[in-house]
Structures are given as C-alpha cells and as structure tokens.
Amino acid sequence: MRNRSTSDLLGTARSSLLAWGLPFGAMLLAISLLGAPKTVVWTLALAWMGSACLINARRCGRVHCRYTGPFLLAMILPVLGHGNGLVLLGENGWLWLGLVTGGGMAAIWWSSERLLGRYR
C-alpha cells in the first residue's frame, strides 16, 4: 500500500501554493477590481481550487478535499449571481462571499478530518 501523505498535494509547500495559495491570492488581489473582472478572477480561482481538491481527494484520499472540492465549485454559482447582478447581496456582497467561502472551507476541513480522519 502506498503512503498517502506522499501523494497529498498538501504535502509540500510548492504544490499547496500552486493549487490553493495562488488562486486565493488572486482572489484577494481582485477585491479592488470592479464587478466583471472580479467575477472572472473569483470564478476561475474557485474552479481551480475546487478542481485541485477533487484531484487531491482522488490521488491520496484526503478526507476534507472530498467535501471542499464540491463546496468550492458550488460557490461559483453565488459568485456569478452576485457578479452579474442576479443575486443582490448588498454593498458588502463580496465580503460575504469571501467569508462564506473561507469559513465554509475551514469548517469543512476541521469537522470532516476530526470525524473521519485525514485519509480514507
């Protein structure tokens, strides 16, 4: 049986940075942009991170990635809705989207790995 931690994308700083750090940084930098460019950056970043989670779940069985991947991909819908004016979240809509995304990821990571372990 292979060592799951060696195939975990979270196992090295470089792979973590490429899979999640850079898109997260792009989302932070895009905060100062206007609606359409911000929507594009956030959508691409969420798709990148969600896909990386799903790939990582398949590669090594990382438990939280099995759940954060679909969550991040699902967060694309409210981002697109708010960015296109279809979902009205008020002046702080982007802040709320960021808090739900970050808080949701943290809650999923903490609860899933506490309940089910790190790998499955």
- Domain with 110, as residue range(s), is 4-116
Q: Is a pLDDT exceeding 60 seen at residue 1? A: no
Q: How would residue 10 be classed by pLDDT, with cut points 50, 70 and 90?
A: confident
pLDDT score of 4: 67
pTM, two decimals, is 0.90
Residue 119: phi and psi, rounded to 5, are -125, 150
What average pLDDT does the chain have? 92
What confidence tens digit (pLDDT) does each residue in 23-64 have? 999 999 999 998 899 999 999 999 999 999 999 899 888 899
Reading the block at residue 15, the tokens are: 């792979």
Instruction: Measure the CA–CA gap between 120 and 111, rounded to whole angstroms.
Output: 15
Number of domains, the chain: 1
* CA atoms of 116 and 114, how far apart (whole Å): 6
Phi and psi torsions of 62, nearest 5° = -60, 120
CA 108 to chain centre: 11
